[in-house]
Structure 1
């Protein structure tokens, strides 16, 4: 079989770009001759080779509803030779086990404080998502963090994008006994999250990926915004079969950065721990709601591959 090219168009922040490269390596595990190009992540000393001139217009892989196994089948059938990833494909079925990516993103690239078994490291996402950035992001309610500190009995450590802003002040007022550790840079922050024994993710691909690649004992996930299949059925970042994970139910919430959204963060609420069966049901419902869209994406990929083959 002739060489097959997987072109990456870097999208979003570092976490998203890492997930794009992971997608390419998942495909390469099924298509060994795959040439992955276009990525550039100096923090990991990773850079793709020079992009070859395409034989025809590359077939674009968009959004999250990318079936990497279906793509591999089309490549093996000779229907796809040149692809361009302009999406992210954030779905558990697209990924190999975390161990498969450890060599790509090796631990220990930054010296950081290691948190003990008695601490709960809480990832704080703030900065641009506090405003009208994206309805599927937004800050996590402080009541959730207080609940986890109370239920686990661990000492809370607020960590990450803690600045001189209203959300940081709200968190510190709500959790006056929590230790506060501010961001120390992208790579150091990733390593700190990755090295923690007990960690709480924010609604963030960066925090999700750092904890998924970790050796953590427990990982607490708010099923909120982008991480809630009821809100984003095209995304699946809930590792159902991974015993480290604890999932907590949230209502569908679309964050607009308005005063009513900000006021809602101060309300007291309880976020129930979900059973594995409840999470599975949520994912099945999401799969059902996206079935027609997934079939349409697959059909378009086949047609574009056929046209590319005829033109090439």
Structure 2
């Protein structure tokens, strides 16, 4: 059997590259002889296998963002119209993936990371790289949202992630929650495993946080329906897990994130509306 290299073009941070690796394996499963090349995930000690010298000959370019026609891709090989794949995209849609298989790809049991049990609410914070409003679909969370979840859960809050940067959001976060715990500054992998091992989680808007929560052993996961997670804003992304009893969905009326003075004032002044919703309500 001829081997078919699936050449991944790594893009973005750790979460995006994990999704790219996952989808490259989806392609490899659909194509006889398929195998993944050029993965860049040093965080997980995944070897970066170089593609063969002439892999570009009759390469099928699988590019875009999230939606792909797997049957059409497979047909290009069964009909002998292609001999390799260049994958350049993100593929953040639940229907492509099996959680048990993905867990095997990213086995973090040997990683040293703290474990926060039932008495804690572990809150992932995405801040530093999105606070300037450069990506309208990646937004931080308003403090009133955290306040409500902490109060309703009755658990001690632990903030994890981009909480140690010297910016206005992080300073205000510490002022708003003086009694909260803040996990020590750590590597992305340690933060990932900290989330993965927590009993109760609050996700941030982003692929890193979503994957850590989805792969976690958590009993409850609070997921903000905003930015890339909101199907009304990004119908090409599908990351709202149906039938997973761990999830609590919260619709936030943020819209496009611009980081304007007015929007920041609304974030800090508790003027952003939010409410818990059922998945069927989001679909409607």
Q: Tell me if both proteins adopt one fold, taking TM over 0.5 as the criterion.
A: yes
Task: Choose the corresponding residue for 1:218, options 215, 220, 223.
Answer: 220
3-state SS, counterpart of residue 24 of structure 1? helix
Structure having greater relative contact order (Cα 8 Å, sep ≥ 6): 1
Q: 1:1-312 to 2 correspondence within 5 Å?
A: 2-52=2-52, 53=54, 54-68=56-70, 70-96=72-98, 98-162=99-163, 163-268=165-270, 269-281=272-284
Q: Residues 261 and 69 from structure 1, CA distance in 2 versus in 1: closer, same or farther, beyond 3 angstroms?
A: farther
3-state SS of the aligned residue for 1:208?
helix
Structure 2 unaligned residues grouped into runs of 5+:
none
Residue 114 (structure 1) shift:
0.7
How far is the alpha carbon of 1:74 from its aligned partner?
A: 4.4
Which is worse superposed, 233-242 or 59-68? 59-68
> How far has the Cα of 1:15 moved from its partner?
0.7
Deviation string 1:261-285 (CA, Å, 9 cap, x unpaired) is 211212324521111311333xxxx
Shift of 1:80: 4.2
The unaligned stretches of length 5 or more in structure 1 are 282-312
Contact kept? 1:228, 1:252, Cα under 8 Å: no
RMSD: 1.9
Shift of 1:259: 1.3
Q: Contact (CA 8 Å) 2:59, 2:86: kept in 1 or not?
A: no
Q: Which residue of 2 aligns with 1:307?
A: none
Deviations 1:28-49 (A, max 9, x none): 3333521211112122111232
Pick the structure with more helix per residue: 1
- Deviation string 1:277-306 (CA, Å, 9 cap, x unpaired) is 11333xxxxxxxxxxxxxxxxxxxxxxxxx
SS of residue paired to 1:238: coil
Whether the 8 Å CA contact 1:194–1:213 is kept in 2: the answer is yes
How far has the Cα of 1:252 moved from its partner? 4.7
Instruction: Please give the secondary structure, in 2, of the residue aligned with 1:157.
Output: strand
2:123–2:202 CA contact under 8 A, matched in 1: yes
| TM-score, with structure 2 as normaliser | 0.91
Report the TM-score, using the length of structure 1 for normalisation.
Answer: 0.84
Query: Could you give the per-residue CA deviations for residues 92-132 of structure 1, whole angstroms, max 9, x where no partner exists?
Result: 11212x11022211022321211010110000111121113
Q: 8 Å contact 2:25–2:35 — kept in the other structure?
A: no
CA deviation map 1:161-203 (0-9, x unaligned): 1122110122222222221224311111111011101011111
User: Given that residues 220 and 246 in structure 1 are in contact (C-alpha distance below 8 angstroms), is that contact kept between their aligned partners in structure 2?
Assistant: yes
Change (3 A) 1:94 1:77: farther
